[in-house]
Amino acid sequence: GAGVSQTPSNKVTEKGKYVELRCDPISGHTALYWYRQSLGQGPEFLIYFQGTGAADDSGLPNDRFFAVRPEGSVSTLKIQRTERGDSAVYLCASSLRTGLGELFFGEGSRLTVL
């Protein structure tokens, strides 16, 4: 596609529920990143993929968070047993390769946990 696409744009869920957030990167971009942004803060790194494999998942806050990218394109961020503190905007970005290049961001998925 022309840009990074994220769905849903808005998700409201109840505490304890399971949530999936999807990211469709720019075609041909091998690197894909997930960040989380709370109000008034900068993006906080969660995980990034180079191809199908998670190259660095050190930013995932705990084992309730998991992400996959099975075919090296679309990625899904999965959050189990959601908590109110998980409420944030989840941003996805892609780049041609890791290391030096600029990131292209999607519009984000706003998650609200009631």
Partner 1 sequence: SQQGEEDPQALSIQEGENATMNCSYKTSINNLQWYRQNSGRGLVHLILIRSNEREKHSGRLRVTLDTSKKSSSLLITASRAADTASYFCATGRNSGNTPLVFGKGTRLSVIA
List residues near partner 1 by CB under 8 A: 4, 33, 35, 40-45, 48, 50, 55-56, 59, 91, 93, 98-100, 102-108
State the nearest-atom distance from the C-beta of 85 to partner 1, in Å.
Answer: 17
Short-list 90, 48, 100, CA closest to 69: 48
Give 7 or 50: the residue with its C-beta nearer to partner 1.
Answer: 50
Residue closer to partner 1, measured from CB, 59 or 72: 59
Minimal distance in Å, beta carbon 100 to partner 1?
A: 6
Collect all residues with Cβ–Cβ distance below 8 Å to 62 and sequence separation of at least 6.
Answer: none
- In whole angstroms, the minimum distance from the beta carbon of 16 to partner 1 comes to 27
Task: Name the residue nearer to partner 1 (CB basis): 8 or 16.
Answer: 8
Closest distance of CB 28 from partner 1, Å: 17
Cβ atoms of residues 88 and 112 within 8 Å: no
